[in-house]
Structure 1
Amino acid sequence: MITTKQRAYLRSLANKIEPIFQLGKGGIEAPFLSQIEAALEKREIIKLSVLDNSGMDPREASDMICSALGCEGVQVIGSKIVLYKKSKNNPKIELPR
């Protein structure tokens, strides 16, 4: 669980990045989750875009992905989702205490 201060720091980092995944009509399935998990291991923080044809609310999608992967939902704003998970092999982001 991350603190409010850590969440604010991660939001400031996420402000500069572009979405690398789009959640569309395919929904949240195993191949999509494995791609997200690999990207989180490599980058630690990613941004996703939820398309209108997905049939899911962005908050609902964030909750489903976080529960499936054990990551933290940093922010949901509009149709964008920001996710964070500390890398097991090479952590890059140093969170404030």
Structure 2
Amino acid sequence: MNTDNNDTRLIEAETALDTAARTSTAVELTAARRSELRAAAHSLNPVVSISQKGLTTAVLAEIERCLKAHGLIKIRVFEVEREARDGLLAEICNALGAAPVQHIGKLLVIWREKPEAQYQPVAPARPRRNPPRLTKKAAAAKTDKAARARPLERGKPRRPTRVR
């Protein structure tokens, strides 16, 4: 039962990758934009790891999901050779239509513009039917304050206060 679920996930991942590969083209970044993205990626943690089995369809599908959710991601690669990591970076970017931002050590940083989220309008909050409840002290103070206030007489102007 569990293998059937894994098989369907892999099939879904492969079809998603096929459609992404057909529509993807490598994205080019300007030096200024690349610098901004490097600065933004500084505080990120790696969200995907590529280890012994290399770049499988499941790993590509996970990278695709992360790019849709975040746009800018870090990938940790447990490959010894730098040339192999360069090849992985190029392969990921070509397959998913992403732009390589940085390759430093065993970390790869890639970026792809996030798709616009569909705006879901939120219903306005309902007004409260009853005013907030007052404690006994607050209610007494309110009525006491109103009783102490002297009403302003209509025809007479108020006496100005002295400023020192």
TM-score range, shorter chain: 0.7 to 0.9
Q: Greater relative contact order: 1 or 2 (C-alpha under 8 angstroms, separation 6 or more)?
A: 1
Which runs of 4 or more aligned residues in structure 1 lie more than 3 Å from their structure 2 counterparts after TM superposition? Answer: none
Where structure 2 has 5 or more consecutive residues not aligned to the other structure, the ranges are 1-27, 118-164
Structure 1, unaligned runs of 5 or more: 91-97
The residue matched to 1:46 in structure 2 has which SS? Answer: strand
TM superposition score normalised by structure 2: 0.51
What's the RMSD between the two structures over aligned residues?
A: 1.9
> 1:43 and 2:64 equivalent?
no
Task: Return the match for 1:58 from 79, 85, 89.
Answer: 85
Change (3 A) 1:4 1:53: closer
Partner of residue 78 from structure 1, selected from 87, 100, 105 = 105
Instruction: Select the structure that is richer in helix.
Output: 2
**One-letter identity of the residue aligned with 1:70:** G
Deviations 1:11-65 (A, max 9, x none): 00011111111110111111111110110010000001111379x7221111010
User: Whose Rg is larger?
Assistant: 2
